Amino acid sequence: MGHHMPREELEPFFSPRSIAVVGASRDPSKAGYQIVLNLKAKFRGKIYPINPYADEILGLKCFKSVSEVPDHIDLAVISVPADTVLKVVEECGLKGIRRVIVISAGFREIGPEGAERERKLIEIAKKYNIRVLGPNCVGVYVPKTGVNTTFLNPSKMGFPPEGHIAFISQSGAFGVAVLDWAAMRGLGISKFISIGNRADVDEADLLEYLVDDEDTRVITMYVEGVENGRRFVEALRKTTPRKPVIALKSGRSEAGARAIASHTGSLAGSDAIYDAVFKQTGVIRAYGMEDLFDMAVALALQPPARGKRVAILTVGGGSGVMATDAAIDLGLEVPRLSDSTIEKLRRVLLPIASPYNPVDVTGSARDEHLIEAVEILMRSGEIDAIIWIPYFMVPGITESIVEKFVERVKKVNRELDTPIPIVGAATGGEYTWRLASKAEKMGIPMYLSVERAAKAVWALYRYGEWLRRVGSFEEYVEKFRKLVGM
């Protein structure tokens, strides 16, 4: 297949003007019903349900086949029994449709018969110059354009808002669960792509597309195993100097690899090889769903760290200690501050505060103590990143701390040569999470525990280290500053 202009080739998957849903159904238990329902919710282009036995589906005029549709169709979403798929793709080709998502299962994942069907699918696609996503996938979700080809009942799941994180998932079910979780967490997505059997469009194509996608700042992926290792490595090499890539690769263990074989029929490959590839190409490896997105949120909202020296600014002493442990466990440093910085902190903090590192403003602190202290730390030149532990529930910290704190951080960062990344940890309940969410919407990633905040800082350090190694730190930071107005 041609892989030369991924941007133009793949764009219609994400922002088509018209979509045909082949296998659209009036039966709510069918994927073909839910796809139309999910598309109708937000997509503003034209939707053409295709079903030979229906006149209308969910209020939309229905067509017997794609050839009957009077307009041009940018994208066909195919959800028909496997043995009908080839015929439908042929029809799509004749109609001039050049982008197809095959939702249907019953291909390589079921054995030799399915593999043969998949080979034919690609043969037909080549004949008509069609790019295929899938088969055996849930397709794409793009909040910005409203394209949503997932087929689960929207009463049972939520969809996340527009944001800066792209997510490529080899597992459809896991991908959908993540979308649902992301919706609850308020985590913004630029593009979600379920690649299924990736008979045509694969991880490498998507990396080449996403590296130039303006809406995507961070690329996350769930990987069980890749097919074309060389192309994958090349694509990663071209991507990571410009955008962070975080990968959750499963099948680390022998038992896990065996499980992959029995569920997809594909080989996981040696984990040591993946690990080496990730290290050599600057991919950050995640070890779980929360880990993957905790790091992604940090990289989407904050600049990379120039070094590993972390300052901890806390309202609670115990949390400061735990944050220190967590940072050290990850190979970061929590250095002592210089006498002159300690003296500056002492001047603005309460007498009972501890002006060392962790800087413990204590539970008696007021908003201004955190705000003055963060500026002193940022300007000190002695640290590369900050973990902020605000304890919104203590009496002296008001609701307006968030705006005031974030504004000060932004102001100082605009004045510094290298911006200092900052993440927050806010253990607590609803009031705390209302304020934490506000802080995150304003640009400071917030986590439920100091351990997760420390891991987020580690990702900022790790990516910064990679950028310095490949010589693109300054360029990346410059671009990032423009993006976020920092």
Q: Given the complex with a second copy, which of 48 and 391 has the nearer CB atom?
A: 391
- CA 287 from chain centre, in angstroms, equals 15
Give the N- to C-terminal CA distance of the chain in Å, as an integer: 41
Asked whether position 186 contacts a second copy by CB under 8 A, the answer is no
With contacts defined by CB under 8 A, name the span among 118-126, 207-215, 372-380, 421-429 that binds a second copy: 421-429
CB 260 within 8 A of CB 237: no
Asked whether position 273 contacts a second copy by CB under 8 A, the answer is no
Asked whether position 85 contacts a second copy by CB under 8 A, the answer is no
The binder of a second copy chosen from 173, 267, 276, 483 (CB under 8 A): 173
Nearest to residue 483, comparing CAs of 233, 336, 354, 301? Answer: 301
Nearest to residue 383, comparing CAs of 335, 332, 321? Answer: 335
- E strand segments, 178-327: 189-194, 218-223, 245-249, 284-286, 310-314
Asked whether position 297 contacts a second copy by CB under 8 A, the answer is no
Whole-number Å distance between alpha carbons of 50 and 36: 10
The binder of a second copy chosen from 161, 229, 307, 317 (CB under 8 A): 317
Asked whether position 77 contacts a second copy by CB under 8 A, the answer is no
Q: Given the complex with a second copy, which of 235 and 315 has the nearer CB atom?
A: 315
Whole-number Å distance between alpha carbons of 185 and 431: 15
With contacts defined by CB under 8 A, name the span among 45-53, 90-98, 120-128, 244-252 that binds a second copy: 244-252
Asked whether position 254 contacts a second copy by CB under 8 A, the answer is yes
Measured at the CA of 330, the angle between CA 277 and CA 462, to 5 degrees, comes to 45
Asked whether position 136 contacts a second copy by CB under 8 A, the answer is no
The dihedral through the CA atoms of 85, 89, 95, 97 has a sign that is positive
Whole-number Å distance between alpha carbons of 215 and 483: 10
Asked whether position 290 contacts a second copy by CB under 8 A, the answer is yes
Asked whether position 37 contacts a second copy by CB under 8 A, the answer is no
Q: Given the complex with a second copy, which of 97 and 454 has the nearer CB atom?
A: 454
The binder of a second copy chosen from 3, 64, 263, 346 (CB under 8 A): 263
Asked whether position 270 contacts a second copy by CB under 8 A, the answer is no
Asked whether position 437 contacts a second copy by CB under 8 A, the answer is no
Least Cβ distance, residue 169 to a second copy (angstroms): 8
Asked whether position 250 contacts a second copy by CB under 8 A, the answer is yes
Whole-number Å distance between alpha carbons of 171 and 176: 9
With contacts defined by CB under 8 A, name the span among 54-62, 234-242, 416-424, 431-439 that binds a second copy: 431-439
Tell which positions 98-117 bind a second copy, by CB under 8 A. Answer: 110
Q: Given the complex with a second copy, which of 112 and 262 has the nearer CB atom?
A: 262
Q: Given the complex with a second copy, which of 181 and 480 has the nearer CB atom?
A: 181
Q: Given the complex with a second copy, which of 265 and 443 has the nearer CB atom?
A: 265
Q: Given the complex with a second copy, which of 75 and 326 has the nearer CB atom?
A: 326
Tell which positions 359-388 bind a second copy, by CB under 8 A. Answer: 360, 363
The binder of a second copy chosen from 320, 421, 424, 464 (CB under 8 A): 320
Q: Given the complex with a second copy, which of 6 and 135 has the nearer CB atom?
A: 135
Asked whether position 391 contacts a second copy by CB under 8 A, the answer is yes
Nearest to residue 394, comparing CAs of 421, 427, 418? Answer: 427
Least Cβ distance, residue 445 to a second copy (angstroms): 17
Nearest to residue 421, comparing CAs of 452, 455, 444, 394? Answer: 444
CB 188 within 8 A of CB 161: yes
Least Cβ distance, residue 168 to a second copy (angstroms): 13
CB 220 within 8 A of CB 249: no
Least Cβ distance, residue 451 to a second copy (angstroms): 4
DSSP string, 456-480: HHHHHHHHHHHHHHHT-HHHHHHHH
Residue 454: CB atoms within 10 Å:
27
With contacts defined by CB under 8 A, name the span among 43-51, 95-103, 168-176, 462-470 that binds a second copy: 168-176
Whole-number Å distance between alpha carbons of 100 and 126: 12
Q: Given the complex with a second copy, which of 243 and 308 has the nearer CB atom?
A: 308
The dihedral through the CA atoms of 436, 246, 202, 208 has a sign that is positive
Asked whether position 227 contacts a second copy by CB under 8 A, the answer is no
- E strand segments, 265-340: 284-286, 310-314
The binder of a second copy chosen from 2, 52, 395, 485 (CB under 8 A): 395
Tell which positions 321-350 bind a second copy, by CB under 8 A. Answer: 321-322, 324-329, 333-334
- Max alpha carbon distance in the chain (Å)? 80
